[in-house]
Amino acid sequence: MSINNNSDYEEIKSLRVRYSTIINYLYIIYRVLTASLFAVIVLRKLPVEDYGLFNVILALIALFQPIPQIWNMWVSRFYARKRYDIAYTGYGITLLYSVFSSLLLIVLMLIVLPPNKLTPETLFFSSLIVLSQVIYSTHVAILTNKKPYIVGYIDILGETLRVLLVYFFVVVLRMGLEGVLLGIAMAFLIKTFVSFIYMLHVRALSKPSLSFKNVALFLKNSYIPLINIVSSQLRNSGERLITSLVTNSMIYPAYLGVSYIPRSFIRGGAQAFSRGLGPRLLRGGSRTDIEDVMKIISILSLLFSGSFIIYAKVVLSMFRREYLDVYPLFILYSIAFILDVYILFFSTVSTSLERADLRYSGLGLRRTVLFKVPFIRFLANITYLSIASAGFIVLYYAGIRDPISLLALYPALLILVNIPVLYKLYIIAKKQIDFSIPWREIAASLCGLFIIYLYSLLTGYINYMVKSIYSDLPMVTWIAISSLVIYIIVLYVLSSWFRELVRTSLEELKRIIHF
C-alpha cells in the first residue's frame, strides 16, 4: 500500500512503531514478574490436590487458545489493508467460537475431572476465562493495527488486576481454587471490556458479520496458520513430552522447565516487535522502521541473553540448589533463544511485506513467502527435535543416565539447525526490502556484556549464591542495577543512535511530566 494521502500518513504515524515496541517489551518483562507473584500466591495458599486440579483446568483451557490464530492472522492482515469486511467476519467467527468453546470446556471438565472436585462456580469461572480469552485475542488482532502501544497498556493493566484480584479472593476472602479462577476470569473480562470500549472510541470496530464468502476464505487459508500452530506446539511441548515418556521420570522435564526460564525475557522481544513493526509493514515497506526496531530488539535481547549467561549460577540458585547442575543447559538455551529472536524478526519482515494474499487464496499462496517462511521454521523444528530425540533415546538405552548430558542434545541441535535457517530467512527478508544489520549497536551491546563479565569476575558476583530470596534480594537487586548501568554507559559511549534515543526519551518524559 502506498502512502498516497493524508489519512494513510496519520494512520501510520499513530502506530508509533518504536514506542510500541518498547512498551510491549516492558509488558513482557512485567508479565514475568507478575507471573512470579501469582505463582507464589497460588502455591502457598492452594492445597496440593487443588493446585493439581488447577493445572489440569489450565491444560483444558489451553486446548482452545490456539484455534483463534487460524483466523486472527488474517483479521490482522486484512484490517491493515482496509479490507474491513473480511476482518469483521473474523470477529463474527470469534464471537460464535467463544460461546461454543466455553460450553465445550464445561462438557470436557465434567468428563475428565472427578465429580467430587467440581463445583458450579469452578465450571462457570473456567468457562468465563475461555470466553474472554477468545474474544480478547481478536481485539488484539484489530487494535495492534490501530495503536499497538495501547495493547501493551491494557495487558499491563490485566496482569496487575490478575495478581491483585487473586490475592484478594484467595488470601483475604480465602475462596481457594474458586478464588483463583474468579480472579483470572475477572482480569480477562476487564481487559476484554476495556479493549472493546477503546475500539469503539477509535472507531476500530463495526458490526460483526458472517459473510459465507469470507468464511470460505478463512477456511481455504487456514493451512498456513495451522503450520505456525503445530510448529509452536512442537517447540513448546515436544522436548518435555518425549523425555518424560522415554524415561518415565519427571526429572528431565523439570530440568528443561528451569532451562526455559530465559525464554520469556529473550523471546518476548518477538511479541514486542511483531505488535509494533508488523502493522507498519503491512501498510508498506519502511527501511528506517525495520532498522530502528532491529536496533532496539538487538540491544534488549542481547542484554537479557548475555545477563542470563553471565549470571546463570545466580539465577539458578534462586530456586533449588539441585538446579545448579542445569548451568550448561541454561547457557545453551540462552544462545538458542537469541537466534530465535532474529529468526522471528526476519519472518515478521518478510511475511508482513507480502501482498499476495490480496490477490490469491488457498493453495494459490503456497508459492509465496506467507507459506514458505512458516514451512521452513516447521521443517527446522521437526529436524532438530527428531535428531535430538533419536540421540536421546539411543544414549538413554545405552546406559547413559546423566540428565544434563542427555538433554544437552536438544539446545545443541536447535542452535546448529537454526543457524542456516536464520541465514535463509535473512535472505528472504532482504529480497522483500533492502535494509542493513545494525552492526554498530550489536558490537556495542557485546562490548557492554564483555565489560559486565569482567565486572562480575572482579567482584565475584558471577558465582554469588542466593541462600534466601528475602535476605539476598538487596544484593541481587544491586547486581542487576549495577550491571544495567554499565551496559547503558557502554552503549551511550559507543552508539550515536542510542545517544539520540536517550535524548528523545528524556524530552518525551519531560513533556509528559509538564503535561
Give the residue extent of every domain in the chain.
Answer: 1-220, 222-437
Crossing angle (nearest 10°) for helices 223-247 and 69-80: 140
**Per residue of the chain (515 residues), what is the pLDDT tens digit?**
444 555 555 555 665 777 777 888 788 888 878 887 887 788 778 887 888 788 788 878 888 888 999 999 889 888 888 888 888 899 999 999 999 999 999 999 998 888 888 899 999 999 999 999 999 999 999 998 888 888 989 999 999 999 999 999 998 998 989 999 999 999 999 999 999 999 888 887 777 777 888 889 889 999 999 998 898 888 877 888 888 888 888 788 878 888 888 887 787 666 776 777 778 888 777 788 889 889 988 998 899 899 999 999 988 888 777 778 888 999 999 999 999 999 999 999 999 888 888 888 888 889 999 999 999 999 999 999 999 999 999 999 998 989 999 999 999 999 999 999 999 999 999 999 999 999 999 999 999 999 999 999 999 999 999 887 778 889 999 999 999 999 999 999 999 999 998 888 788 777 766 65
DSSP annotation string for 296-349: HHHHHHHHHHHHHHHTHHHHHHTS-GGGGGGHHHHHHHHHHHHHHHHHHHHHHH
Crossing angle (nearest 10°) for helices 120-143 and 84-112: 160
CA dist 454 to 313, 331, 449, 476, 489, Å?
A: 16, 18, 9, 17, 15
CA distance 315 to 337: 17
Cell 495487558 sits on residue = 155
CB 279 within 8 A of CB 266: no
pLDDT in the model for residue 2: 45
Amino acid at 297: I
pLDDT in the model for residue 113: 84
CB 251 within 8 A of CB 403: yes
pTM of structure: 0.85
Q: Which three cell numbers stand for residue 98?
A: 467463544
Furthest CA-CA distance within the chain: 69
Q: For residue 499, how many C-alpha atoms fall within 13 Å in the half-sphere facing its CB?
A: 8
Crossing angle (nearest 10°) for helices 409-432 and 369-397: 170
16 three-state secondary structure:
coil
pLDDT in the model for residue 416: 97
CA distance 498 to 22: 14
CB 119 within 8 A of CB 178: yes
The torsion angles phi and psi of 373, rounded to 5 degrees, stand at: -65, -55
Amino acid at 196: F
Query: How big is the CA angle at 256 (ends 302 and 377), to the nearest 5 degrees?
Result: 60
CB 142 within 8 A of CB 91: yes
CA distance 135 to 149: 19
CA distance 88 to 420: 39
Q: Give the count of beta carbons closer than 10 Å to the beta carbon of residue 356.
A: 14
> Which of 491, 466, 490, 489 has the alpha carbon at shortest distance from 478?
466
CB 238 within 8 A of CB 384: no
Q: Which three cell numbers stand for residue 216?
A: 470460505
Amino acid at 295: K
Query: How big is the CA angle at 41 (ends 38 and 45), to the nearest 5 degrees?
Result: 145
CA distance 155 to 28: 9
pLDDT in the model for residue 1: 44
CB 352 within 8 A of CB 282: yes
Query: How big is the CA angle at 195 (ends 126 and 121), to the nearest 5 degrees?
Result: 15
CA distance 433 to 430: 5
Q: Give the count of beta carbons closer than 10 Å to the beta carbon of residue 432.
A: 18
